[in-house]
Amino acid sequence: MFKGSFPALITPFKNGEVDEDSFRAFVEWQIEEGTDGLVPCGTTGESPTLSHVEHKRVTEICIDQAKGRVPVIAGAGSNSTREAVDLVQHAKDAGADAALVVTPYYNKPTQKGLYAHFKAAQDVGLPIIIYNIPPRSIIDMSVETMTKLAKLPHIVGVKDATADLTRPQMTKVAMNGTDFCHMSGEDGTAVPFLAAGGDGCISVTANIAPRQCADMQRAWREGDIAACMALQDRLMPVHSAMFCEASPGPVKHAAELLGKCAAEMRLPMTEIAESSKQTVHDALVNAGLLN
């Protein structure tokens, strides 16, 4: 069972290419800071603009650098089932602990189509985390479909980015004791999600505040609610700032301010506005992440 803070890792670029050295250093810093696990090649990692070769290479670098010290959940989503299966197979062959598979975007499949898509992905034999994010993929996997999928041997959890705090509770009741991992996909609701029965957060903010995000999750697990809430209160303006424009623009700018990598992105993502840069800067300073 995956628990705690898992950053949805940014992918550093340099002169238009994946910056492998910066990415390795970034993964190492994350582990040193106490992060609980790593998620390469998600939306925050700009997977839509990575070629298949680059996508697989970024996954391999992350696994190689982690060296088994923390689990790696490899992003392996696509709106093509055949492509998703290929990415899951690669993640398995590369040594990932699980794959994160997003609900197919743009196609708008039915619940029957969603079930068939995820069943095909889990048939590879690698643990699968369902990524349910209606704001980006347009479709929402129902509690009923997720409960049905959870009966399959390799569907092990969900990254829930619905921001619906009734969802983990309704899903747990429907699954009736099934061993299933509930990870929030929304930093702002990370603590309420834990209170609703969640196990952790696949986080944007953890890219630039890995220790604080991990400590917050750990405080909850240890029953230190006061410490947990103090950290959440401190980080809430940062959570907000990370989405002052479309992610990963703000978090990449924050990473550049911290000296971790360039803020460079690939089109159609562009440099964030000066006003957004100020918002990000002020949030980092106020949270004690930047002098």
CATH number for the domain spanning 144: value is 3.20.20.70
- Given a cut of 90, whether residue 199 has pLDDT beyond it is yes
Q: For residue 263, tell me if it sits in a domain.
A: no
Q: For residue 269, tell me if it sits in a domain.
A: no
Q: For residue 26, tell me if it sits in a domain.
A: yes
Q: How many domains are there within the chain?
A: 1
Q: What is the pTM of this model?
A: 0.97
Q: Are 282 and 275 in contact (CB under 8 A)?
A: no
Strands 200-203 and 4-7: parallel
Q: For residue 162, tell me if it sits in a domain.
A: yes
Percent of the chain with pLDDT strictly greater than 70? 100
- Given a cut of 90, whether residue 78 has pLDDT beyond it is yes
Q: For residue 268, tell me if it sits in a domain.
A: no
114 contact partners, CB below 8 Å, separation of at least 6: 103, 104, 139, 141, 145
Give 202's strand partners.
6
Q: For residue 17, tell me if it sits in a domain.
A: yes
32 contact partners, CB below 8 Å, separation of at least 6: none
**Which one of 56, 92, 115, 131 is the catalytic residue?**
131
Q: Are 59 and 88 in contact (CB under 8 A)?
A: no
Catalytic residue check, 131: yes
Q: For residue 242, tell me if it sits in a domain.
A: no
Can you give the pLDDT at residue 1? Answer: 80
Give the three-class secondary structure for 39: strand
- Given a cut of 90, whether residue 177 has pLDDT beyond it is no
Q: By residue range, what is the domain housing residue 217? A: 4-228
Whose structure tokens read 């623009």?
Answer: 249
Q: Are 261 and 12 in contact (CB under 8 A)?
A: yes
Averaged pLDDT for residues 38-57: 97
**Which one of 159, 172, 252, 260 is the catalytic residue?**
159
Residue 261: pLDDT band with limits 50, 70, 90: very high
Q: For residue 75, tell me if it sits in a domain.
A: yes
